[in-house]
Amino acid sequence: MYITTLPKVDLHRHLELCVRHSTIRELAPQFQIDLPNEESFKERFLITQPMKDLNSVLNKFLDTQKFWSSTHLIERLAFEACEDAFRQDGIRILELRYAPTFIRQGHDHLSFEEIHQAIVKGVNRAEKEFPMAVGIICIIQRILPVKEAEAVTQFAIDHKETFIGLDLADNEVGFDSKPFAPFFLAAKKNGLGITVHSGEANVPNAPRYVREAIDYLGAQRIGHGVQIYRDPAVMEYVKEQNVILELCPTSNWLTQAIPDLTQHPFKKLKDFGIKTTINTDDPGIFNIDLNHEYKWLHEVLGLSVFDLEQCSDWAAKASFIDFNKKSKVWPRPIFS
Ligand SMILES: [Zn+2]
């Protein structure tokens, strides 16, 4: 189909949760994970129906975390993430994000430095092999103590040559943006791009959280932000501030951010004049790819190929990857 051949951009993809399925099957026995059949694989590693309880989902994250256990494997998984993005989806501009604290949580024999250098090695190898530009975003987990956030920020700043941006992820409820403001300010001063997971879950204050991410953290892009459709004033604010939304439709359905895929406000937000981009979030665990999201927007929400390309061009422009580097792999001019 025509859509599969479109050059694409993914700005919102979690490295830890896009492990290639055949690699999971291959590695599982080494990690004492028994996968006798397809059903057990699905049960243990995939989320394909809207989540009911958080615990079962967390277990899937922790099982996937097990594979990030050595620099050798980390390099391989990072390379494969890029290779799959290029070969399956035709992604030319790829931003992968990861939380150093999440990988180390399962493997405390590894330092942030070792983890990061292994990822950079895998990504560099992929960039040599495929005509794509890849950037790495560092994630702060907002549920961890603020001290940890400070250490992660410093790590990102110390490696600003190999990180393109800083992100804040995890549950927003009860974890205000304000305490993180000095870290994001410091990151911005050091030239890192700022994107923040916000306005994802369907909670009463979701639109307000998005406004705070822009005001306190200087977010240029919002991870999800889907809930702002419920508040015209915040929609207006996002548009006026020229903040980009990294929308991830299937993810929003599976996490129950929206009740039904056909009710996703993607088109409403785009028609309002907000720059919407199309992303996968956790393609491995959600069993999707970017083609899937494009096709769904095209076939169900009625976005034309022109609309899809417009979203891709916005994403190419909004990417934190160096302008010359991304321009080389993008088929159309990127207007700076
Ligand atoms: Zn995300």
For the chain, where are the E strands, in sequence order?
A: 8-14, 91-98, 133-141, 165-169, 193-198, 221-224, 244-247, 276-278
Amino acid residing at 10: D
pLDDT at 222: 98
What is the 8-class DSSP label of residue 334?
P
Q: How far apart are CA 257 and CA 54, in angstroms?
A: 13
| Chain-centre distance for alpha carbon 249 | 12
Catalytic-role residue among 16, 95, 127, 200: 200
Between the CA of 304 and the centroid of ligand 1 the distance, in Å, is 26
Residue 91: strand, helix, or coil: strand
Structure tokens that stand for 49 in this block: 């129906």
In a domain, 119, yes or no: yes
> How far, in Å, is the centroid of ligand 1 from the Cα of 36?
30
212 in a structural domain: yes
Range of the domain at 174: 2-329
Per-residue pLDDT, 19: 97
Low-confidence ranges of the chain (pLDDT < 70): 1, 53-54, 56, 336
Per-residue CA distances from 120 to 100, 108, 116, 137, 145 (Å)? 13, 19, 6, 11, 27
Task: State the amino acid at position 43 in one-letter form.
Answer: E
Q: What was the pLDDT predicted at 30? A: 95
Residue 335 in any domain: the answer is no
Tell me how far the alpha carbon of residue 228 lies from the centroid of ligand 1, in angstroms: 17
- Spacing, Cα 100 to ligand 1 middle (Å): 15
Residue 273 lies in a domain: yes
Number of domains in the chain: 1
Q: Are strands 221-224 and 91-98 parallel, antiparallel or unpaired?
A: unpaired
Q: 200 catalytic, yes or no?
A: yes
CATH code assigned at 53: 3.20.20.140
Alpha helix ranges (H) inside 174-299: 181-189, 206-217, 232-240, 249-254, 266-272, 283-286, 290-299
**pTM of the complete model:** 0.97
108: exposed, middle or buried (Cβ count in 10 Å: 0-12, 13-18, 19+): exposed
* Ligand 1 centroid, distance to 48 Cα (angstroms): 16
Indicate whether 336 belongs to any domain: no
> Is 227 a domain residue?
yes
pLDDT of residue 243: 98
pLDDT at site 336: 64
Identify whether 334 is part of a domain. no
Which residues are CB-contacts of 37 (< 8 A; sequence separation ≥ 6)?
none
Cα(280) to centroid(ligand 1), Å: 9
Distance, CA of 165 to CA of 193 (rounded, Å): 4
In contact, 320 and 165? CB cutoff 8 Å: yes
> Taking the CA of residue 223 as centre, how many other CA atoms within 13 Å lie in the half-sphere pointing to its CB?
29
Judge whether 276 lies within some domain: yes
